Amino acid sequence: MISLLLIIPLSSAFLIPIIGKRIKWTGGAISSLAAFALAANSFVIISNLMKYKTLLYKFGAFPPPAGISLIVDGLSVFLLITVNVVAFLIALFSMDYMKQYTDRWKFYTLFMFMLAGVNGVLIAGDIFNLYVFLEVAAIAGYFLVGFGVRDEELEAAFKYAVMGSVASIFILLGIGLLYSYTSTLNMAEMARILPQTGTSSLVTFVSVLFLMGFGLKAALVPFHSWLPYAHSQAPAPISAMLSGVSIKVLGIYALARIFFNVLGMTPAVCFILIALAVLSMVAGSIMAFGQSDIKRLFAYSSISQIGYIALGLGIGTPLAISGALFHLFNHSIFKSLLFLNSGSIEYAAGTRDLNRIRNVIREDPVTGYTNLIGSLSICGVPPLGGFWSKLIIILACIQANHPILAFVAAVVSMLTLAYYFKALTPALFGTHATAGIKASGRKISFAMAAPMVILAILVVISGMMLLPNPGRELLKGAANVLQNGRNYGK
Amino acid sequence: MLHNPLILLIAAPIVMGAICVILPDRIKVFIKIAASFVCLASFAGTIFVFLKKPLVYNYDSYTVLLADNLSGFIAAAIAAFALLITIYSFGFIERSFGRYFGYVLMTLGASMGAVFANDMIVLLTFWGFLAAMLYLMVNLKGTDASAAAAKKSLIMIGGTDALMVFGLCLVWSMTKTFMMSGVRIPLSSAPAYVAYFSLAIAAFAKAGAMPFHSWLPDVAEFAPASVTAYLPASLDKLLGIYLLARISLSLFAVNGVTNTVLAVVGAVTIIFAVIIALVQHDLKRLLGYHAVSQVGYMVLGIGTGNPIGIAGGLFHMLNHAVYKSCLFLSAGSVEKRSGTADLDKLGGLAKYMPVTFAAFLVASLSISGIPPFNGFVSKWMIYQGIIASAGPKNPLWIVWLVAAMFGSALTVASFMKLLHSVFLGRPDRELKDVKEVGFAMSFPVIVLALVCFIFGVFAFILPLPVLIAPAIGLSIVYLGSWSPVIATILIITGITAGIFVYYVFRSKKTFRTVSIFVGGEDVETLGRISGTDFYDTIKDMKALGGIYKKEAAGGLDLYNITRNAVYYFTRQLQHLHNGVLPTYLVWCLLGMIGMFLVVFLRWQW
């Protein structure tokens, strides 16, 4: 069952080049089916997890720490569900959206590799496997960003690849040092050994390497500069994957898993995390004001919103962690929705320039209204999901006696509202058409509309995660894993 | 849960509104009937709640919703306005019926929620939702200008909602509960002040007090008139001042400092907005600036801190909602029939639209504070409140009093111009075919004008003792004596005598009326005397001229100032993002160096 999370995407990545290369439509169908199976499997896993707190899969039946293990606990399953549901909807969207590209089977193959990597990171029980899966997802990402092979797309892919590799090298260096220090790669075992050895400057050194490496994957300022390029130049489904899934799993999840469960959160790490978070929130939103490319706008807003998540984790109280995880969930839904919107706008209007897009809401109501719902949510307008997670984070800041941070979070929320609606209102409601949305004459199909509508419905009802069952249990289960600290895997 | 009237009052309009939004325009008759039925039922329901108050909705011994004296009367007023606006809209709205009436109903339900909320999270939820509703309703017009106005309103109101979140979280940290009833926070610490002013700013932005006002004139000019009458003119005032009253009267124990701040905001708002209103050329924009100016009286009234001033402020809030929605609805009728709201093109409409003119006249007299209408009574009470607050601790009271009275005088001047330019004078030739509006549109206007009269004449019998005095829960001591009924009788006697004298002594016509004759030229093309430049001379005054220039350039607008500041930082950051990969790698390196410094030098909080 846990192993299916890897078997499904990897076997489809194997099947698609064989079948999809000859019969064009099968590539999209296989990847959508595979993503659906993954999502369904995640729900099966959660129903099992209710019985056993932690699920363990041993490769070749070797017991950990000697053997390689795959572990699913509350945090993993929370993200597994988020990631796989979002990935399924993105796969559905890309079936029709990707028809504008040639060699689609390569896209779907890489997409499946990316999904395999992301799922692998979430269930990896030892730190080296985590790194391997992280690289699988990241390298698939480098290729996918440059999938359109125009100059600027290749430039973006190159920047992403260079910076991503720098981060990976530092992560690998950190893992190597940690391995030499603890003689194990199993994270549960490491978490057991590290406290016994006392504090050491080596661990401190490694923690900085990890903060930089995973911080770059999560696009925290000042390690964010690849993101506006990669997110804006990738095909829209990949932008949605990168923003809704990748930066969260490869960046935030890995960061949280390693620091909370393995290395332990020291005050210095908390301080750094909060500082990076505040920088990201403020700089991301201020930069977003200057953007007229709709995808760059969303990209900078991702940086700013990732800041909220990091802020919650950095504060580290139970309320703050729940808020951060809830915001992660929300952001993954509404940001993938927004990137899919940007895709369908670009598909119909033939441009991403916000100065030229007009009248979306009347000419393409599905895109227009779903985009409005997503934007209102990310700006924290009640009763949509984003409001609740921001509220919890602000409340947690005040509860933890950091009123200044709460104020910063409130001001950034204000800025978010300003830059979103400054840019989107003319595009959605304005009529002065320099390039109406139907410039290309293409109409979005049902397969493109359905995922956006489903995501918009999720955005509207995601506030219900705070109701007792099952939402709050899921959230609580995930937050408990982080609060339990180094009792990981027990 | 559903048998609780408060829950029903909130849920029914929202659910029905959500249904209306997705209904197609084809079945507009059904939508209209459904909307009016829900509004009527809500109005009946709020009357019931008002009579049965206090009512509560408890969840696990936790009071989530609460209808007390203050929220009871404001809810009834909200439902009444929703009903009148819905009736007016039958004649006014021509397309997007489903969405329009759906938004009206959802706004009604959310306003009920905001007013009845005793839980701060519930308050926040409905409060923020209303900002989105205003945005959507303004956008129904579907032009670039309306989109810009909608954007500005959402950014200003929604942005201050974020401050409200912050303020309420601070309140929670001080009281450890989300319930607002039974809480009274002394303003003795910095967080308490920050919390109070965060909430006050949210209230100011909603009500449109300076310096958070600038969305209001834009919305007034570019939104459909019924939307302006519904939200910025009535509901937003009721809600904004309700919040200000809630935090000033019960949530916080206010002191001299906050009262002085409120008084400054109030006085500045009164004077500056009315000065800017004087020279406007657009009927609805001019009314929009007056909607800002009048907020000043309410804020000033609450800022006096004594019962009569607060009662005056709350009464003025109610009165303002009545006459200002009357004015906006009349303006909507004028615009609908004549096709323009430009004062240069309007004129002489009294002949063609007598009912609208009569209602507009009554509302104008009321807003100008002329007895016996309701605006006079509430302003009179606010003046008394200011005088009562006089004392060695409050030496500035004379400034507030002068500001309030001077503002009232300028309001009269401004409405003289408005009445002349729209209804009197010679009509433009293009306006010859203008006809009076139908019953659906004139009925709400007549009702509102009558309310202006009734609330003025019977102020001490009907509205003050029934609605206002219980709401503030303090006994009101009136200074001086003012008996509106006797005064009204005297005024009516005087006017009757005047008419009598006029007709008796007008034995012979001593003049004749001819059309203007200028050497055979067609005078109409040479220009009518429009009232629009009555006050253009004050633009030439040195001190005021500067203000007008700045306002016209947007220099007095907090929104623009903030935007320019943010864009300055954006440009600085854009310089850093130069697109060169090595630069970005250097940042990563610098970031790492910084982190090493933190961990090894053990920098902490």
Cβ–Cβ gap A410/B596 under 8 Å: no
The answer to the question of residue B549 being in a domain is no
The answer to the question of residue B516 being in a domain is yes
The pLDDT profile of chain A, 490 residues, written as one tens digit per residue, is 788 888 999 999 999 988 888 888 888 889 999 999 999 999 888 888 877 777 888 877 777 777 788 888 888 889 999 999 999 999 999 988 888 888 888 999 999 999 999 999 999 888 999 999 999 999 999 999 999 888 999 999 999 999 999 999 999 999 999 999 988 888 888 888 888 887 788 888 999 999 999 999 999 988 998 999 999 999 999 999 999 899 999 999 999 999 998 888 888 889 999 999 999 999 999 999 988 899 999 999 999 999 999 999 999 888 899 999 999 999 999 999 999 999 998 888 888 888 888 888 888 888 999 999 999 999 988 888 889 999 999 999 999 989 999 999 999 999 999 999 998 988 888 876 555 555 566 778 888 899 999 999 999 988 887 777 677 778 888 888 888 877 765 5
> For chain A, how big is the Rg over CA atoms in Å?
21
One domain for residues B295 and B423: yes
The answer to the question of residue B78 being in a domain is yes
The answer to the question of residue B535 being in a domain is no
The domain in which residue A313 lies consists of 4-483
Mark the ranges of chain B whose per-residue pLDDT is less than 50.
none
CA triple B124-B134-B359, angle to 5 deg: 120
One domain for residues B102 and B131: no
Which of A203, A214, A225 is the best substitution to test chain B (most B C-beta atoms within 10 A)?
Answer: A225
Cβ–Cβ gap A287/B131 under 8 Å: no
Picking from A271, A376, A398, the nearest residue to B170 by CB comes out as A398
One domain for residues B272 and B392: yes
Last residue of some domain: B54, B87, B118?
B118
The answer to the question of residue B160 being in a domain is yes
- Are B338 and B412 a contacting pair, CB within 8 Å? no
Token digits of residue A12: 């489809």
SS (H, E, C) B51-67: HHCCEEEECCCCEEEEE
**Could you give phi then psi for residue B186, rounded to 5 degrees?**
-75, 140
**Could you give phi then psi for residue A435, rounded to 5 degrees?**
-145, 100
The phi-psi region of residue B459 (left if phi > 0; otherwise alpha if psi is between -120 and 50; otherwise beta) is alpha
C-alpha distances (whole Å) from B292 to each of A121, B211, B234, B239, B552 are 56, 10, 12, 15, 16
Nearest residue of A to residue B152 by CA position? A422
One domain for residues B413 and B521: yes
What span, in angstroms and rounded, lies between the C-alpha atoms of B473 and B53?
A: 14
Residue B91, C-beta contacts closer than 8 angstroms, at least 6 positions apart? B437, B438, B439, B440, B441
Last residue of some domain: B88, B118, B148?
B118
One domain for residues B216 and B276: no
Cβ–Cβ gap A362/B147 under 8 Å: no
- Are A69 and A125 a contacting pair, CB within 8 Å? yes
Nearest residue of B to residue A403 by CA position? B170
Total number of domains in chain B: 4
Beta bridge partners of B394: B391
Residue A163, C-beta contacts closer than 8 angstroms, at least 6 positions apart? A216, A223, A225, A226, B581, B584, B585, B588
Picking from B143, B161, B173, the nearest residue to A431 by CB comes out as B143
Q: Give the ipTM.
A: 0.90
Residues counted in chain A = 490
One domain for residues B326 and B422: yes
Residue A196, C-beta contacts closer than 8 angstroms, at least 6 positions apart? none
Cβ–Cβ gap A394/B165 under 8 Å: yes
One domain for residues B292 and B227: no
Tell me the three state secondary structure of residue A72: strand
One domain for residues B426 and B349: yes
Name the average pLDDT for chain B. Answer: 85
Which residues of chain A lie closer than 8 angstroms to B191, CB-CB? 403
Beta bridge partners of A293: A353
What span, in angstroms and rounded, lies between the C-alpha atoms of B89 and B602?
A: 66
The answer to the question of residue A73 being in a domain is yes
The answer to the question of residue A28 being in a domain is yes
The answer to the question of residue B538 being in a domain is no
From A53's Cα to the closest Cα of chain B, the distance in A is 31
End-to-end Cα separation, chain A, in angstroms = 20
Cβ–Cβ gap A215/B142 under 8 Å: no
From B358's Cα to the closest Cα of chain A, the distance in A is 37
SS (H, E, C) A349-366: HCCCECCCEECHHHHCHH
Q: For B245-290, how does the pLDDT look when each residue is reduced to its tens digit (9 = 90+)?
A: 888 888 888 888 888 889 899 998 998 888 888 888 888 888 899 9
The answer to the question of residue A490 being in a domain is no
Nearest residue of B to residue A207 by CA position? B599
The domain in which residue B567 lies consists of 558-601
Cβ–Cβ gap B173/A398 under 8 Å: yes
C-alpha distances (whole Å) from B24 to each of A452, B95, B107 are 22, 11, 20
From B568's Cα to the closest Cα of chain A, the distance in A is 10
| Tally of CA atoms within 13 A in the half-sphere of B7 that contains its CB | 10
From A88's Cα to the closest Cα of chain B, the distance in A is 28
C-alpha distances (whole Å) from B560 to each of A286, A427, B151, B550, B554 are 16, 21, 13, 12, 6
- Are B484 and B492 a contacting pair, CB within 8 Å? no
One domain for residues B428 and B454: yes
**Could you give phi then psi for residue B434, rounded to 5 degrees?**
-65, 135
Select from B510, B360, B496 the least CA-distant residue to B421: B360
The answer to the question of residue B177 being in a domain is yes
The answer to the question of residue A382 being in a domain is yes
From A193's Cα to the closest Cα of chain B, the distance in A is 22
One domain for residues B489 and B517: yes
One domain for residues B64 and B95: yes
Select from A86, A82, A65 the least CA-distant residue to A74: A82
Total number of domains in chain A: 1
CA triple A431-B127-A368, angle to 5 deg: 25
From B85's Cα to the closest Cα of chain A, the distance in A is 24
Q: How many CB pairs under 8 A join A and B?
A: 175
The answer to the question of residue A488 being in a domain is no
What span, in angstroms and rounded, lies between the C-alpha atoms of A109 and B158?
A: 43
What span, in angstroms and rounded, lies between the C-alpha atoms of B413 and A435?
A: 47
Last residue of some domain: B189, B224, B253?
B253
Which residues of chain A lie closer than 8 angstroms to B573, CB-CB? 283, 286-287, 290
Select from A221, A218, A242, A246 the least CA-distant residue to A231: A242
Cβ–Cβ gap A417/B162 under 8 Å: yes
Which residues of chain B lie closer than 8 angstroms to A426, CB-CB? 144, 147-148, 151
The answer to the question of residue B536 being in a domain is no
Picking from A204, A223, A395, the nearest residue to B591 by CB comes out as A223
- Are B38 and B16 a contacting pair, CB within 8 Å? yes
- Are A335 and A385 a contacting pair, CB within 8 Å? no
Nearest residue of B to residue A399 by CA position? B173
**Could you give phi then psi for residue A357, rounded to 5 degrees?**
-80, 130
A154 reaches B (C-beta below 8 A): no
From A117's Cα to the closest Cα of chain B, the distance in A is 25
Tell me the three state secondary structure of residue A221: coil
Q: Are strands B63-67 and B185-186 parallel, antiparallel or unpaired?
A: unpaired
One domain for residues B505 and B401: yes
